[in-house]
Amino acid sequence: MKTPISITSVASVSAIGSGPGEIWKNYKNNNHFLQKHNFEGNDSFGAFLPEELKEDLLNIRAQKSDFKQVDDSVIFAVHASRRAVESAGWKKGSDIGINIGSSRGATALFEKHHKMYVETGRVETLASPSTTLGNISSWVAQDLHSTGPEISHSVTCSTGLHAVLNGVAWLNSGMADKFLAGGSEAALTPFTIAQVQAMKINARKDAEYPCRALDLEKRQNSMVLGEGAAVVCMEAGLKDNAVALISGVGYATEVLEHPVSISANGSAFQKSMKMAMGSLSPNEIDAVVLHAPGTIKGDLSEVKAIKAVFGDQLPALTTNKWKLGHTFGASGLLSLELAILMLEHQEFITVPYISGIRKPEKLRNILINAIGFGGNAVSVLVSLP
């Protein structure tokens, strides 16, 4: 990489909480946070934010009259961004680049406005601006009083890690010194659940672990949708307060046979991981946090890609979707947060129903993967500062 990139803080909201102590505590146990819920007559699993965290989000809404009209995805991102910026020591009004994306965008608001249109033929005045993807970064920028560029995008489930790619590019170009990158998703809505069920990729079986992400022996798809947001503060150069370094990034797009397919050997993942590793040899990678959405084909193709890159000496493999669900555009950043926490605590977090995973003696370099509809893979390599 042209310029070393320091991650000076990370913050999130998800089913496992929001504070770093709480999050790490919940990663260290074998409990999952998936629950059955009735989505307007349709029962399905979901990973919801805890009630005490929802109270904090309601308080944020009450702070500004404008926040009453925005989607939950905006409020999730504001909460995480405030904590990340404070932890990094950035001041309000700083020149900060912001890129917080979302796969779905303002899902609940869009469904609400569309329902009103179908029933009355009218829409509210702010229906259009409140349902655009640009709302997330724009509102975070307003809340932080930042003066840098603000970008929002959707690259489906790899959206969050694409935001990190953009941050690296802005910092390497010298066009920004500080960059806030992340993803936010509030898609636990009846229509979104119905879409997942229509693709037959959702978990349908009551079990000790409803989502069997990374289990290559499962006979049924087991994806569970979750909600949440995660952001990282990135700065150019080696910073004394760095919690991790971005030492490599990779990306690739593969030719699709179907709009939601992935190649059997995960060719995009192979390319993105090799690019992110750069000159490092495979045995220098201690762990991989997989995308592993809990689908049969998705999990298997990613593991095949890892085996193609690493051969017989596989790094330790893990994922967090069995615990906090698949948060679409935020998922890559939540995986990045897990990698940073493992580096910080020097402890590898396992998947309880997977055996035979070798725990590394020391964690120095961890790869994080994400991929979305459209065959767009991203890999980010983080290392000890």
Please check whether residue 304 is in contact with residue 265, taking contact to mean a CB–CB distance below 8 angstroms.
yes
154: three-class secondary structure by DSSP: coil
Taken in order of first residue, the domains within the chain and their CATH numbers are: 5-236 (3.40.47.10), 247-383 (3.40.47.10)
Please check whether residue 141 is in contact with residue 150, taking contact to mean a CB–CB distance below 8 angstroms.
yes
Cα-trace Rg, the chain: 20
Residue 313's alpha-carbon distances to 27, 134, 181, in angstroms, are 26, 43, 32
> For residue 225, what are the β-bridge partners?
46, 326
Q: CA–CA separation, 260 vs 198, rounded Å?
A: 12
Residue 74's alpha-carbon distances to 39, 173, 287, 311, 373, in angstroms, are 22, 28, 32, 42, 23
Please check whether residue 211 is in contact with residue 34, taking contact to mean a CB–CB distance below 8 angstroms.
yes
- Token representation of residue 180: 């806030």
Q: What is the DSSP letter of 293?
A: -
Q: CA–CA separation, 324 vs 34, rounded Å?
A: 7
The pLDDT score that the predictor gives to residue 1 is 75
Task: Give pLDDT tens digits along the chain (385 positions).
Answer: 778 899 999 999 999 999 999 999 999 999 999 999 999 999 999 999 999 999 999 999 999 999 998 999 999 999 999 999 999 999 989 999 999 999 999 999 999 999 999 999 999 988 988 898 878 999 999 999 999 999 999 999 999 999 999 999 999 999 999 999 999 999 999 999 999 999 999 999 999 999 999 999 999 999 999 999 999 999 999 999 999 999 999 999 987 765 556 778 899 999 999 999 999 999 999 999 999 999 999 999 999 999 999 998 899 999 999 999 999 999 999 999 999 999 999 999 999 999 988 899 999 999 999 999 878 999 999 999 9
Please check whether residue 45 is in contact with residue 196, taking contact to mean a CB–CB distance below 8 angstroms.
no
Residue 64's alpha-carbon distances to 54, 60, 104, 139, 209, in angstroms, are 17, 7, 24, 11, 40
Closest residue by Cα to residue 94 from 4, 183, 8? 8
